[in-house]
Amino acid sequence: MRALIACIAAGALTSVHLPPPLLDQILELGELRVVTRNAPTTYYMGADVPTGPEFDLAKGFADELGVSLVMQPRSAVADLIPAVSSGQAHLAAAGLSITEERLQQVLFSQPYQQVEQHLVYRRGNGKPDTLADIEDAEVVVMAGSSHAETLEALSAEWPTLSYREDPDTESAELLEAVANGDIPYTVADSTDFSINRQFHPELRIALDLDVANSIAWAFPAHGGRTLVDRANQYLQKIRRNGELTRILDRYYGHNDDFDYVGTRAFIRHYESRLPRYRDMFEEAADRTGLDWTLLAAIGYQESHWRRSAVSPTGVRGIMMLTRATADYVGIKDREDPAQSIAGGAAFFERLKERIGDGVPEPDRTWMALAAYNVGYFHLKDARKIVEMQKGDPDRWVDVRDALPLLAQRRWYQRVEHGYARGWEPVTYVENIRNYRAILNWLERQNDVPEGPLPPEETLPTPTEVVARR
């Protein structure tokens, strides 16, 4: 009898159908569904395609799995973990910090980025030295964020600390509110701060509240570890082959050098000088297929949008063309704004062609910018040095590190075209990337209705944001 009962029980157990591992479900479905935030540090719509560091990482993972990517933006950070836990998404890729509270709800991948948490204030309002200095003011943070968890933990040591969680705002909006004087303080990750400081140069760091904060992807706790393990393999792979460094550089590599005075001047000149030449930049962009904001950023770096600019070496005009370059692109009057802009665009286009489409974007653009400044053959020498160092001459991050070596005798003697002030094109490229980012931000501010739009109104619906293989 006992044997019979045991057999019946065993049969009942074998008849229970457990769901397949989450990775198998994704492969069967043919889609990787990723919940994310609409923010410059995660995911947003570019000129015509989705972009952002989390999009690039998730798209690479989807390609690795051989499935399509479906991005599902959410309005609030607090919605991300529940969306993963409930099975609405396979993972969250949204710049999420690994915290004790979140570890009780989801599984995390290995970290792929480290950030700091800054207490941010407005320049001119007085810098607090400790949290005791802000006891009469309120700190506003995103609801459900790791920043709220940090402040809650700090409250044990600083009982007078006052903070409020706002369920309806993103980090960029809170930073803008601080810059405008609408709120006294907020907490932001170092990545968010570095990007938004370009647009709001009044922002300052008061205190570092948390250092070496680990950013990772979040997965359902009930889905097993097959998907997490596969994600870790992918992250290890792109860390080893340099793709992770390349993605992070694409979005953050130009934010290291910050010039408050220069940024404020750029914003003023956007209003006072650019309108005279905007149509010319747009026409040159139409002829060459380049982005007009990139051409405008080059023009600003070269001349601050001054038609009569002249350097000590004789280059002149808005795009600061040499006589030889003007002849090369068929320009007769370098100080004529329309001719200068058209000539600069044509010259930049030809530099990109010489570099070749074997170099992926945006690395090809950054290298062409460096060549515009230092010359194509010095760029070629820098790429040769990268090869000597066993690096990848098609990656900007490697070429960027090699360019300053052109000023060192032990290196420039080993290449064909000799000495160059190799640190200058590095700064040149970083400045243009900064100017272009600020310009695009100013353009967005002028294009949208008054007041912030929620992510669902500025992005396609989740089912539309599909990156097919």
| pLDDT tens digits for range 317-330 | 999 998 999 999 99
Within 10 angstroms of residue 313's Cβ, the number of other Cβ atoms is: 8
Residue 465 has pLDDT above 90, yes or no: no
**What residues are paired with 107 via a beta bridge?**
219
Instruction: Write 82-86 long-range contacts (CB < 8 A, 24+).
Output: 83/35, 84/35, 84/218, 84/219, 84/220, 85/220, 85/221
Token pair, residue 118, equals 């800054």
Residue 460 has pLDDT above 90, yes or no: no
Residue 314 has pLDDT above 90, yes or no: no
pLDDT for 106: 95
| pLDDT tens digits for range 162-199 | 999 999 888 988 999 999 999 999 999 999 998 888 88
- Catalytic positions: 302
What's the DSSP call for residue 39? B
Which of 32-36, 80-84, 368-372, 453-457 shows the lowest per-residue confidence on average (mean pLDDT)?
453-457
| pLDDT tens digits for range 206-257 | 999 987 889 999 999 987 899 999 999 999 999 999 899 989 988 887 666 6
Q: Which residue has the higher pLDDT, 255 or 304?
A: 304
What's the DSSP call for residue 347? H
pLDDT for 453: 34
Q: Identify which of 437, 53, 85 has the alpha carbon closest to the alpha carbon of residue 215.
A: 53
Query: What is the mean predicted confidence (pLDDT) over 419-435?
Result: 91
Helix (H, G, I), strand (E, B) or coil at 54: helix
Angle at 228 between CA 77 and CA 80, to 5 degrees: 10
Report percent pLDDT > 90 for the chain.
65
Query: What is the mean predicted confidence (pLDDT) over 405-419?
Result: 89
